Copies of this chain bind each other. A is one copy, B any other.
Amino acid sequence: MARWSALEEVCGLLGLKPLTKKGISFRHVRLAPGERAYVTGQPFRSLFVVHTGFLKSMMVSETGGVEVVSFPMRGDVLGLDGVYARSHPSEVIAQSLCELIEIPFQALVELWQDMPQLELGFFELISRELTRQQHLLLTLRSLSAEAKVARFLWSLSERFAGIGYSGTQFILRMTRQDIGSYLGLTHETVSRVMHALQQEGLISVDQRALTIHRSDVLQVMRRLPVRSRSR
């Protein structure tokens, strides 16, 4: 019933050099919208690679609120943050029908013994994740609300284009609330800014449906600071 993927296919999804090993394959897991790949605090056993579908990852902040950390899609890895504590600090919810490839961590570590390149590949993967996170942190705290939203839409567009969808016309799988949480804004502000962007003719929004008319302008706007935070 469940599909299986060979190591080679997984490497391809992750953007690693395609390595092959006989007899190694990984089970697919199906999630219906609203189902979770794992919940906060659950013991860490496996990593997951997104094969199909759209998800959101959430985490409780020190202030007790649940905030959105990322919106994973095809090719993204889930669960890397659980390696250290051996339990998941975040949780991941499917926003659509999803198919994940489960990679039992124990098996992965054993694989590394024979395949140093694979090991290095994963190390690079998590290092990239770290760099992205840092970048996001720096960037978000120095942008205006408008620039944040522009940046968000632009980055979504890039990601969609990267996995074979249209980069100019797509469905937002998340609520305004979720976008706000991710960007550190309220849902009212997100709504207002999207309206403003539409007025300026950069995009069209109708509920969740989005069309980008001027990605060039978005790309410039996404790096406009609030004013000049650090002189």
Stretch at the interface among A20-28, A82-90, A95-103: A82-90
* Residues in B whose Cβ lies below 8 Å from that of A64: 223, 225
Contact check, A130 vs B141: say whether CB atoms are below 8 A apart.
no
Given contacts A120-B109, A181-B230, contact A63 B126 (CB under 8 A): no
CA distance A224 to B63 in the complex (A): 6
Contact check, A130 vs B230: say whether CB atoms are below 8 A apart.
no
- How many Å from the CB of A46 to the closest CB on chain B? 14
Instruction: Assess whether A165 is interfacial by the CB under 8 Å rule.
Output: no
CA distance A29 to B80 in the complex (A): 32
* Residues in B whose Cβ lies below 8 Å from that of A126: 123, 126-127, 130
CA distance A63 to B62 in the complex (A): 28
Closest to A63 in B: B225
* Residues in B whose Cβ lies below 8 Å from that of A199: none
